[in-house]
Amino acid sequence: MSQDKAAEEQHIKRMADLLRQGSTLTELACPACASPLFRLKSGDLWCAKCEKKVIVVKEGEEPAKITGSMVLDSLEATLLAKIQEVQSKMQHEENMEELQKLGTVLSGLLENLEKIRKAKRV
């Protein structure tokens, strides 16, 4: 399978995962890649292809200042997406060495997620 096709399949899988998690497909497109944007349950707009939060600024408006909270929210969403990717890979993996590697990655992602959530409560 070509790398482009594999990347496109991953992109479609991430979009399907967002829908399963309760996100809503919007009519908006990502300004960076033109992929459809999703509205997360939190109300934030998310690009599944870029794996980034998107902030919409209407013409004539000043963009909102990026706050620490926005950065933490974006990091949290990225980590959750990566955790789901690792979980999906683990589900289909049969090689024990690869499962161990994925488990280590998952553990690190979960530790970082916990740190971000603690920082958000402070």
Q: Are residues 17 and 1 in the same domain?
A: yes
Structure-token pair, residue 117: 């959530």
Contact of 16 with 25, CB cutoff 8 Å: no
Residue 2 dihedral angles phi and psi, to the nearest 5°: -70, 155
Mean pLDDT of 61-82: 75
Q: Which domain holds residue 110?
A: 65-122
Q: What Å distances lie between residue 66 and 63, 77, 119, CA to CA?
A: 9, 16, 16
Q: Are residues 99 and 73 in the same domain?
A: yes
Q: Are residues 88 and 69 in the same domain?
A: yes
The verdict on pTM exceeding 0.85 is no
* Structural domains of the chain, count: 2
pLDDT exceeding 70 applies to what percent of the chain?
89
Q: Are residues 23 and 43 in the same domain?
A: yes
Selection from 7-21, 64-78, 84-98 with the highest mean pLDDT: 84-98
Please say which residue of 64, 88, 106 terminates a domain: 64
pLDDT tens per residue across span 31-55: 888 899 999 888 888 998 888 888 8
Q: Are residues 54 and 2 in the same domain?
A: yes
